[in-house]
């Protein structure tokens, strides 16, 4: 079990800056995020987006901001659990918390900070009947372990870079590969599209354009995908795996079941310290809600600073933090 | 001038909102300002599809740009009239346009 002062859920810019503010007050932090890398939506969705409203930066690219935040918190040696979703938060008798992820990782923390942004980023799922029946039994929404597809029959769906890249990667290792795309051509990287058409010409790929997977068949595990084209012509394709790659969309996820006061999928907080209705649990950044809330990174940074002052009292058993200016004290690491 | 935009919600209800054409706003910004459940995760750069709408009015002929088409290509469910509201600047030509909200809500 991981032991820490603050467990921060969410490794976006606000979660990372919370590590800094907590570090200034000598609180250790463990950061957990469902995404496999830090940076939240900045790294996952728009790494090259220019951001103009960060003080001191006339303009900064989203990923550059994440990289700098990561560097800024290095002195405080935060630890991370990435690629796992926090499922449970259980309050202990001594008012500390034990958090548990979907992979069974446990973290014991004196206080919890939810910096979950828009929630968890989860795969967009196609609207297919009985889809859930085959999850884990032939359907993968992400390619985590490509070696499992060796000598298998695989159907990939999607027209974005992810679908093209994985199709190219899998072409030489699977027994049979089908790519289904509802459009007639691929935009995105021209080089990738060219490779896809070449693979189809070489007979290494069954390319189904203007088509969609419209039904799944199997008996406990996936056996076949029904692929239907725009003209209505349908074909059954033997499939050990169906890999729909339609990108990610935000979902609130397990946060909804943590007994927090929610308002329109955001957590209500006390604006004095961004505490929630559960003592010892704070919510900062886009995940929280209060009168006048501005969903800006800038606002999340401010909230992180106030949260840290309050969380210090929780972590230190009631002591009040004394505000120390970094200009005077510098950054004193652990 | 102000134009009228008719918005069909998931339950079939149609509401009409007014939008100014002289403030360089996009349809996404108008929807957000009107408290519609539009996350606009990427801030209007055609990178997240959380402002996906369907244009029900066939008189709107402005073509989608490449970035918008690229994003729409990645979605599991689209129609021929799918658009990203962030890529639709409010113009006088849109007066009376009817749209349907398609964006996924941020739900548990």
At a CB cut-off of 8 Å and minimum separation 6, what does A163 contact? A156, A157, A179, A181, A245, B74
The shortest C-alpha distance from B107 to chain A (Å) reads: 5
Res A113 pLDDT > 70: yes
Select from B29, B40, B41 the residue whose CB has the most chain A CBs within 10 Å, as the one to mutate to test that interface: B41
Res A216 pLDDT > 90: yes
Max CA separation in chain B (angstroms)? 40
Q: Which two tokens stand for residue B22?
A: 């002289």
From chain B, the residues in CB contact with A157 under 8 A are: 76
Evaluate whether B75 touches B55 at the Cβ level (below 8 Å).
no
How far from the centroid of its chain's Cα atoms is residue A58's Cα? 28
Q: Which residue carries 């995760």 as its tokens?
A: B41
The shortest C-alpha distance from A162 to chain B (Å) reads: 9
Q: Do B75 and A265 touch (CB under 8 A)?
A: no
Interface residue A294 vs chain B (CB under 8 A): no
Chain B residue closest to A244 (CA)? B76
B44-103 pLDDT tens trace: 889 888 899 999 986 888 889 988 998 898 888 888 899 999 999 999 999 999 999 987
- The pLDDT score that the predictor gives to residue A188 is 67
The shortest C-alpha distance from A45 to chain B (Å) reads: 7
What does the pLDDT average to over A219-233?
Answer: 94
Paired strand residues for A115: none
Q: How confident is the model at residue B108 (pLDDT cuts 50, 70, 90)?
A: very low
What does the pLDDT average to over A266-275?
Answer: 97
CB nearest to A118's CB, from B41, B74, B78: B41
Helix (H, G, I), strand (E, B) or coil at A331: coil
Q: Do A246 and B48 touch (CB under 8 A)?
A: no
- The pLDDT score that the predictor gives to residue A110 is 98
| CA dist., res. A157 & res. B77, Å (int) | 12
Q: Which two tokens stand for residue A231?
A: 């003209």
The shortest C-alpha distance from B81 to chain A (Å) reads: 14
What does the pLDDT average to over A295-320?
Answer: 95
Interface residue A185 vs chain B (CB under 8 A): no
Which carries the bigger pLDDT value, residue A251 or residue A147?
A147
What does the pLDDT average to over A95-113?
Answer: 97
Res B107 pLDDT > 70: no
Chain B residue closest to A245 (CA)? B74
Res A320 pLDDT > 90: no
CB nearest to B42's CB, from A45, A124, A186: A45
Percentage above 70 pLDDT, chain A: 100
What does the pLDDT average to over A84-107?
Answer: 96
Which carries the bigger pLDDT value, residue A120 or residue A9?
A9
What does the pLDDT average to over A11-15?
Answer: 98
Name all contacts of A273-279 with Cβ < 8 Å and 24+ positions apart: A273/A306, A273/A307, A273/A309, A273/A310, A274/A303, A274/A306, A274/A307, A274/A310, A275/A307, A275/A310, A276/A114, A278/A91, A279/A95, A279/A314
Strand order of the β-sheet with B52-55 is B14-20, B2-8, B97-101, B52-55, B82-84
Q: Which two tokens stand for residue A139?
A: 């359907």
Interface residue A246 vs chain B (CB under 8 A): yes
Chain B residue closest to A182 (CA)? B73
Chain A residue closest to B104 (CA)? A249
From chain B, the residues in CB contact with A159 under 8 A are: 73-74
How far from the centroid of its chain's Cα atoms is residue A19's Cα? 18
Interface residue A88 vs chain B (CB under 8 A): no
- The pLDDT score that the predictor gives to residue A70 is 98
Return the closest-CA partner of residue B48 out of B101, B86, B88. B86
Q: Do B76 and A126 touch (CB under 8 A)?
A: yes
The shortest C-alpha distance from B71 to chain A (Å) reads: 8
- The pLDDT score that the predictor gives to residue B77 is 84
What mean pLDDT is reported for chain A? 94
Q: Which two tokens stand for residue A319?
A: 């002591």
From chain A, the residues in CB contact with B41 under 8 A are: 41, 45, 118, 250
What does the pLDDT average to over A57-61?
Answer: 96
DSSP letter assigned to residue A251: E
Tally Cβ neighbours within 10 Å of residue A291: 5
| CA dist., res. B54 & res. B9, Å (int) | 11
Interface residue A295 vs chain B (CB under 8 A): no
Q: Do A46 and B106 touch (CB under 8 A)?
A: no
Res A149 pLDDT > 90: yes
Res A254 pLDDT > 60: yes
Interface residue A256 vs chain B (CB under 8 A): yes
- The pLDDT score that the predictor gives to residue A155 is 98
Mark residue A318 as left, alpha or beta (left: phi above 0; alpha: psi -120 to 50; beta: remaining): left
Which carries the bigger pLDDT value, residue A307 or residue B67?
A307
CB nearest to A265's CB, from B45, B75, B107: B107
């Amino acid at each position: 079990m991981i032991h820490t002062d603050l467990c921060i859920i969410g490794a976006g810019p606000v979660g990372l800056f919370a590590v800094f503010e907590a570090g200034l007050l000598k609180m250790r932090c463990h950061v957990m995020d469902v995404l496999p890398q830090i940076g939240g939506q900045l790294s996952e969705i728009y790494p090259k987006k220019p951001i103009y409203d960060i003080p001191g930066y006339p303009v900064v690219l989203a990923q550059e901001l994440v990289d700098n935040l990561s560097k800024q918190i290095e002195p405080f040696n935060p630890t991370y659990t990435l690629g796992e979703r926090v499922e449970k938060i259980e309050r202990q008798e001594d008012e500390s918390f034990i958090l548990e992820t979907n992979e069974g990782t446990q973290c014991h923390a004196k206080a919890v900070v939810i910096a979950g942004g828009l929630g968890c980023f989860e795969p967009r799922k196609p609207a297919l009947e009985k889809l859930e029946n085959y999850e884990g039994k032939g359907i993968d929404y992400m390619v985590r372990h490509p070696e499992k597809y060796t000598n298998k029959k695989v159907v990939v769906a999607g027209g974005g870079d992810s679908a093209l890249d994985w199709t190219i990667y899998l072409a030489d290792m699977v027994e049979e590969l089908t790519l289904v795309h509802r459009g007639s051509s691929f935009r995105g990287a021209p080089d990738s599209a060219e490779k896809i058409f070449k693979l189809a010409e070489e007979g290494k790929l069954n390319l189904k354009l203007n088509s969609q997977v419209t039904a799944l068949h199997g008996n406990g595990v996936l056996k076949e995908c029904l692929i239907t084209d725009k003209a209505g012509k349908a074909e059954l394709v033997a499939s050990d795996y169906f890999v729909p790659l339609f990108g990610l969309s935000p979902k609130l996820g397990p946060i909804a079941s943590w007994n927090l006061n929610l308002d329109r999928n955001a957590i209500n907080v006390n604006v004095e310290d961004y505490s929630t209705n559960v003592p010892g649990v704070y919510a900062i950044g886009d995940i929280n809600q209060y009168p006048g809330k501005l969903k800006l990174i800038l606002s999340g940074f401010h909230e992180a600073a106030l949260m840290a002052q309050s969380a210090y009292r929780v972590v230190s058993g009631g002591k009040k933090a004394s505000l120390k200016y970094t200009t005077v004290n510098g950054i004193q690491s652990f | 001038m102000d134009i009228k935009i008719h918005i069909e919600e998931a339950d079939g209800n149609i509401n009409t909102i007014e939008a100014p054409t002289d403030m360089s706003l996009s349809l996404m910004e108008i929807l957000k300002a009107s408290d519609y459940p539009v996350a606009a995760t990427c801030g209007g750069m055609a990178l997240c599809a959380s402002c996906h709408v369907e244009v029900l009015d066939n008189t709107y002929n402005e073509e989608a740009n490449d970035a918008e088409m690229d994003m729409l290509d990645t979605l599991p469910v689209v129609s021929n009239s799918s658009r990203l509201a962030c890529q639709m600047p409010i113009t006088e030509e849109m007066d009376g346009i009817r749209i349907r909200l398609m964006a996924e809500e941020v739900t548990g």
